[in-house]
Amino acid sequence: MESSLDRIDRPWGERTPYGRAEPWPTRVDSCLADGVQPEAVARWVQSASLLDSGGDAMDIAVLDGRIVGVRGRAADRVNRGRLEPKDLFGWQANAAPDRLTRPLVREDGELVETDWATAMDRLVSRSRRLLDTHGPGSVGFYTTGQLFLEEYYTLAVLARAGIGTNHLDGNTRLCTSTAAESLKQSFGCDGQPATFDDFDHADVIALFGHNIAATQPVQWMRILDRLAGSDPPRLLCVDPRRTEVARHATVHLAPRLGTNVALLNALLHEIIRCDRVDRDFVEARTVGFEELAERVADCTPAWAARVCDVPAARITEAAEVLGGAERLLSTVLQGVYQSHQATAAAVQVNNLQLIRGMIGRPGAGVLQMNGQPTAQNTRECGADGDLPGFRNWQNDAHVADLARVWNVEPETIPHYAPPTHAMQIFRHAEQGSIRMLWISGTNPAVSLPELARIRSVLAREDLFVVVQDLFLTETAQLADVVLPAATWGEKTGTFTNADRTVHLSDKAVEPPGEARPDLEIFLDYAARMDFRDKDGGPLITWHDPESAFEAWKRCSAGRPCDYTGLSYDRLRGGSGIQWPCDERTPEGTRRLYGDRFDWAHPEVCESYGKDLVTGAATDVVEYRSFNPDGKAVLRAAEYLAPHEEPDEEYPFQLTTGRTLYHFHTRTKTGRTPQLNAAAPEVWVEVSAEDARRLGLGQGDPVEVSTPRGSLQARLRLSDVRPGVLFVPFHYGYWDTPSGSGPSEKTPPRAANETTITDWDPASKQPLFKTAAAALTALDHDGGTR
Ligand SMILES: Nc1nc2c(c(=O)[nH]1)N[C@H]1C(S)=C(S)[C@@H](COP(=O)(O)OP(=O)(O)OC[C@H]3O[C@@H](n4cnc5c(=O)[nH]c(N)nc54)[C@H](O)[C@@H]3O)O[C@H]1N2
Ligand SMILES: Nc1nc2c(c(=O)[nH]1)N[C@H]1C(S)=C(S)[C@@H](COP(=O)(O)OP(=O)(O)OC[C@H]3O[C@@H](n4cnc5c(=O)[nH]c(N)nc54)[C@H](O)[C@@H]3O)O[C@H]1N2
Ligand SMILES: [Mo]
């Protein structure tokens, strides 16, 4: 490798310091296969990273019809040429020898190779039979945050208007449904308020449950570069582990797991008490301040110190940093979204920004982050629990407008209830009402909570499971039909990152064998099903990525995520462009909100909001009564204790998350030699204090168990809070002798053997960050000691 292994040891590379409000300097990172010189590369093909949510722009190097490396795009606003280790090395997985190259179907219990016609025929005949006998509610779709916009939009149309089912969601439910929900709650619609440029201007950056150094390394490079420059920002880090971010923070708060709301309420309390409130802003642009002030009136730092187990003085100090900021940027991710009271906590971060008047100016804003590279598109295209274009399922005018775009009757589009969320889709499958589940680009047999249950649902005789993937994953091994997909570099499409930047990713090479782009698979299915519009014409009128993009533009017109000013041509050659982009804003839109929150107006908003404790949807009458003019909404929340607290049998708090070197269930990073070597096996982090108390040392084999199940791993002493265990969730079974789950030969090792089937009432995002667990030592041969 040219740019070599030292980027494994030094993931953020060399510093390029810069001062506040200066442009972030460019630094072009690249990595080419051994022996390939840059001059020898035959073609450079424009793309962006599909291995995190930053949308790091890159060119793919092609030689002799193969991908031979990548190079960052200096012209792009997101990364100015920088790449992180997964970007630099991950492309090698495309050429892994065990890529799926032909469809598989189950015959006498075994998956056997077949041709596309046979596989698609099984899908179509099963779909037809189910529609005839059990109706559209018997078919469900579970997709991802890793396909392209064109693919999600096509899937949303074929599922919602073709099949007519309400059961379509993405794994974005596990990922960013709380980001979306908190934005809907506070601003009336989804859509990132801030922009990554705000990192260049902020004087305080507050990170809530966000290990950005490991999970968005390129934006961390940006923060490091500012820390190394003149007028550096101060950082506030809220994380129960002393992460790399915590090490650079002015104030690090390490609360007990699941107590984010208590901590945030105390921070709000202090900001109000010290009169750091921007009264004019609050008066002119928000509703709900009185209720919020009342709710946090008793939430003193001393009270929160007891709940969160952090010193009261540190909470006061944090409040001073936040209260004294002139340009405050907050970011939020899974330590909030996957923890207890997820939406309530994420909304309190919005409240913090709003009462300080810190929205819509350079350096002042909130990034309710995304995790997956294309999660934004799952949400805006309606391939998750939303209607396309951030339309409101409770607003008949919005449904009618969508019906107009699709040329179908409004009744064709299910809107009797909110679109079914993923956890409920699996529940319906478990109970037998969903009889066909089409899973694309996600690996629930490793990534959903309580895996023993998920495996048994997927293995049900009466559930017809279709899996569309690159590899024979743990999930694919349980399928009835496996469709081999093409991926990044092998197909063309667009996707949108966490700050609304749309990138084009062009096809560089042919997919392996008979693998096909996801778009082609969905279009083929729609054609075979012969879905029609209300005039008898074809429901889906597009035939390739660019025509799908043009169709989506029509659906997005006039909505917050307006793409009408974009085209493939405009996206080629330069930088990605931020939506909304229409004829009035041809260069895109840096900050979604200036001094108004127009998308919160009752007529246009995506949601009327929900009760943060029960999740019950507010109706339009109630919404109109408290927010008639469409202002930002300050929603207060009371702290409630986590559902599962440690006890004698399960004395630890268990949390799960990520490492810099792996992406999710490792289907790509586990097949990338440099990345896999950097983190080859699962581990459990524990504080040195707890280890000493239990007589355990670095590297000891241990078992972590919860009421759901257990896993075995090596112990790693780290800077987690005492009383907390941390397990990375990347490790499943595809590269073990057993294949799809634990067996005699393979002890359990997936974090989700132990996690709980429970979710946030408002966003329905499952809880991966708080469970009670026991830690026991194992003999070196695996028995309990
Ligand atoms: N290297 C790498 N990068 C990735 C990914 C990957 O798999 N690998 N995945 C991408 C995706 S899809 C996502 S969603 C993002 C996720 O990115 P992050 O959210 O940054 O990652 P996590 O490790 O899941 O969790 C972040 C932190 O939350 C803390 N935490 C746990 N419980 C609590 C709590 O109760 N309160 C608080 N305040 N903090 C808590 C954990 O200690 C952890 O450090 O990363 C994206 N980037
Ligand atoms: N315990 C615990 N569990 C978690 C989390 C946690 O922090 N802790 N985090 C949750 C979060 S935030 C997320 S996002 C999920 C991620 O969970 P998953 O989505 O299940 O994880 P991935 O490994 O990314 O799965 C993506 C699959 O899509 C395939 N794929 C990649 N590209 C393409 C393509 O172009 N087309 C098709 N058809 N397939 C493709 C890959 O091979 C892979 O099998 O995990 C969740 N689960
Ligand atoms: Mo995610």
Structure tokens at 188: 């009336």
The span from the CA of 35 to the CA of 17, in Å, is 32
The band of 114, judged by pLDDT with boundaries at 50, 70 and 90, is very high
Mutating to test ligand 2, I would choose from 469, 708, 763 the residue with most ligand atoms within 8 A of its C-beta, which is 469
The span from the CA of 433 to the CA of 431, in Å, is 6
Whole-number average pLDDT of the chain: 96
Q: Where in the chain do CATH 2.40.40.20 domains reside?
A: 652-777
Q: Is 522 in the pocket of ligand 2 (CB under 6 A)?
A: no
Q: Is 442 in the pocket of ligand 1 (CB under 6 A)?
A: no
771 CA to centre of own chain: 21
The H or E element containing residue 317 is helix 312-324
Angle at 119 between CA 117 and CA 125, to 5 degrees: 90
- Nearest atom, ligand 2, residue 656 CA: 8
Q: Where in the chain do CATH 3.40.228.10 domains reside?
A: 181-369+599-633
**Cα dihedral across residues 581, 587, 590, 596: positive or negative:** negative
User: How far away, in angstroms, is 766 Cα from ligand 3 center?
Assistant: 12
Q: Is 90 in the pocket of ligand 1 (CB under 6 A)?
A: no
User: How far away, in angstroms, is 206 Cα from ligand 2 center?
Assistant: 27
Q: Which candidate, 733, 755, 754, places its Cα nearest to that of 742?
A: 733
User: How far away, in angstroms, is 747 Cα from ligand 2 center?
Assistant: 22
User: How far away, in angstroms, is 216 Cα from ligand 1 center?
Assistant: 10
- Nearest atom, ligand 2, residue 375 CA: 14
Mutating to test ligand 1, I would choose from 53, 211, 308 the residue with most ligand atoms within 8 A of its C-beta, which is 211
Q: Is 308 in the pocket of ligand 1 (CB under 6 A)?
A: no
Residue 3 has pLDDT above 90, yes or no: no
Q: Is 660 in the pocket of ligand 1 (CB under 6 A)?
A: yes
User: How far away, in angstroms, is 54 Cα from ligand 3 center?
Assistant: 12
Residue 526 has pLDDT above 60, yes or no: yes
User: How far away, in angstroms, is 665 Cα from ligand 2 center?
Assistant: 6
The band of 4, judged by pLDDT with boundaries at 50, 70 and 90, is low
The span from the CA of 157 to the CA of 521, in Å, is 14
Q: Is 257 in the pocket of ligand 1 (CB under 6 A)?
A: yes
pLDDT at 595: 82
Full strand arrangement of the beta sheet holding 464-469: 110-113, 104-107, 481-484, 464-469, 436-440, 139-143, 168-170
- Nearest atom, ligand 1, residue 263 CA: 38
Instruction: Write the single-letter amino acid at 696.
Output: L
The span from the CA of 499 to the CA of 365, in Å, is 12
Q: Which CATH class is domain 181-369+599-633?
A: alpha beta
3-state DSSP assignment of residue 382: coil
Structure tokens at 234: 């101060």
User: How far away, in angstroms, is 121 Cα from ligand 1 center?
Assistant: 41
Q: Is 468 in the pocket of ligand 2 (CB under 6 A)?
A: yes
User: How far away, in angstroms, is 537 Cα from ligand 1 center?
Assistant: 46
For domain 652-777, the question of CATH label 2.40.40.20 is answered with: yes
Residues 632-662: pLDDT tens digits? Answer: 999 999 999 998 999 999 999 999 999 999 9
The band of 779, judged by pLDDT with boundaries at 50, 70 and 90, is confident
Q: Is 93 in the pocket of ligand 2 (CB under 6 A)?
A: no
Q: Tokens 């927010």 — which residue?
A: 627
Q: Which candidate, 659, 778, 677, places its Cα nearest to that of 730?
A: 659
Residues 396-446: pLDDT tens digits? Answer: 999 999 999 999 999 999 998 899 999 999 999 999 999 999 999 999 999
The span from the CA of 421 to the CA of 188, in Å, is 20
The span from the CA of 279 to the CA of 619, in Å, is 29
Residues 581-634: pLDDT tens digits? Answer: 999 999 999 999 988 999 999 999 999 999 999 999 999 999 999 999 999 999
Instruction: Write the single-letter amino acid at 130.
Output: L
Mutating to test ligand 2, I would choose from 174, 384, 471, 759 the residue with most ligand atoms within 8 A of its C-beta, which is 174
The span from the CA of 704 to the CA of 698, in Å, is 15
Which DSSP state fits 778?
B
The band of 780, judged by pLDDT with boundaries at 50, 70 and 90, is low
Q: What is the mean pLDDT of residues 441-470?
A: 98
User: How far away, in angstroms, is 334 Cα from ligand 3 center?
Assistant: 8
Residue 727 has pLDDT above 50, yes or no: yes
Residues 6+ apart with CB under 8 A from 6: none
Q: What is the mean pLDDT of residues 37-50?
A: 97
Mutating to test ligand 1, I would choose from 89, 643, 683, 769 the residue with most ligand atoms within 8 A of its C-beta, which is 769
Residue 266 has pLDDT above 50, yes or no: yes
pLDDT at 1: 46
Q: What is the mean pLDDT of residues 364-374?
A: 96
The span from the CA of 713 to the CA of 522, in Å, is 40
Q: Is 372 in the pocket of ligand 1 (CB under 6 A)?
A: yes
Ligand 2, atom 32: closest residue by C-alpha = 487
Q: Is 340 in the pocket of ligand 2 (CB under 6 A)?
A: no
pLDDT at 2: 43
Residue 532 has pLDDT above 90, yes or no: yes
Asked if 219 contacts 212 with a C-beta cutoff of 8 angstroms, the reply is: yes
Q: Is 72 in the pocket of ligand 1 (CB under 6 A)?
A: no
**Cα radius of gyration (the chain):** 25
Q: Tell me, yes or no, if the pTM score tops 0.85.
A: yes
Q: Is 721 in the pocket of ligand 1 (CB under 6 A)?
A: no
- Ligand whose nearest atom lies closest to the CA of 449: 2
Rounded to whole angstroms, what are the CA distances from 465 to 9, 445, 481, 778? 41, 12, 7, 37
Q: What is the mean pLDDT of residues 270-281?
A: 98
Q: Is 171 in the pocket of ligand 1 (CB under 6 A)?
A: no
Q: Which candidate, 667, 611, 560, 522, places its Cα nearest to that of 94?
A: 667
Asked if 685 contacts 713 with a C-beta cutoff of 8 angstroms, the reply is: no
The span from the CA of 365 to the CA of 388, in Å, is 26
The span from the CA of 689 to the CA of 331, in Å, is 31
- Ligand whose nearest atom lies closest to the CA of 99: 2
Q: Tokens 């429901």 — which residue?
A: 539
* DSSP codes, 554-570: HHHTTSTT--TT--HHH
User: How far away, in angstroms, is 658 Cα from ligand 1 center?
Assistant: 6
Q: Is 656 in the pocket of ligand 2 (CB under 6 A)?
A: yes
- Ligand whose nearest atom lies closest to the CA of 443: 2
Percent of the chain residues topping a pLDDT of 70: 99
